[in-house]
C-alpha cells in the first residue's frame, strides 16, 4: 500500500473535522436501508414505454450497425424506431 502524502493526510483531517462539526450542529447524513440501496436490473416498473420488448439475434451489415452506434447511447432505440417507421410505409409479404 503506497504511503500517504502530507497533503492527502491534511485533506483527510480537514474532511474529518468538517464532518465532526456538522454532527455537532445536528446535520447528519440520511441512512439508507438495504432495500433502498439495492439496484433493480432490467426495465423499470411503470416505465414510459408501454410496449413489451423481445431479445433477439440479428445479423446486420457492418456499415448499418456502425452508423447507428455512431449516434451514441440509445442507438438501439433509434434503430427500433427506424424499423417502426419503415413498417408504416411498407407492406410485409
Cβ neighbours of 78 (radius 10 Å): 13
| Alpha-carbon gap, residue 88 to 18, rounded angstroms | 61
List C-alpha distances in Å: 5 to 10, 48, 67, 92.
Answer: 9, 50, 48, 69
Q: Are the beta carbons of 68 and 75 closer than 8 angstroms?
A: yes
Closest CA to 68 of 58, 57, 80: 80
Q: What is the pLDDT along the chain (93 residues), one digit of tens a residue?
A: 678 888 989 999 998 898 888 888 887 777 777 777 777 777 666 655 567 788 999 999 999 999 999 999 999 999 999 999 999 999 887
Amino acid at each position: 500500500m503506497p504511503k500517504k502524502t502530507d497533503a492527502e493526510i491534511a485533506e483527510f483531517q480537514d474532511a474529518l473535522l468538517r464532518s465532526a462539526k456538522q454532527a455537532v450542529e445536528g446535520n447528519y447524513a440520511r441512512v439508507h436501508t438495504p432495500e433502498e440501496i439495492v439496484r433493480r436490473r432490467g426495465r423499470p416498473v411503470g416505465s414510459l414505454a408501454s410496449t413489451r420488448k423481445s431479445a433477439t439475434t440479428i445479423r446486420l451489415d457492418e456499415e448499418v450497425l456502425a452508423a447507428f452506434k455512431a449516434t451514441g447511447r440509445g442507438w438501439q432505440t433509434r434503430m427500433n424506431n427506424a424499423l417502426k417507421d419503415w413498417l408504416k410505409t411498407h407492406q410485409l409479404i
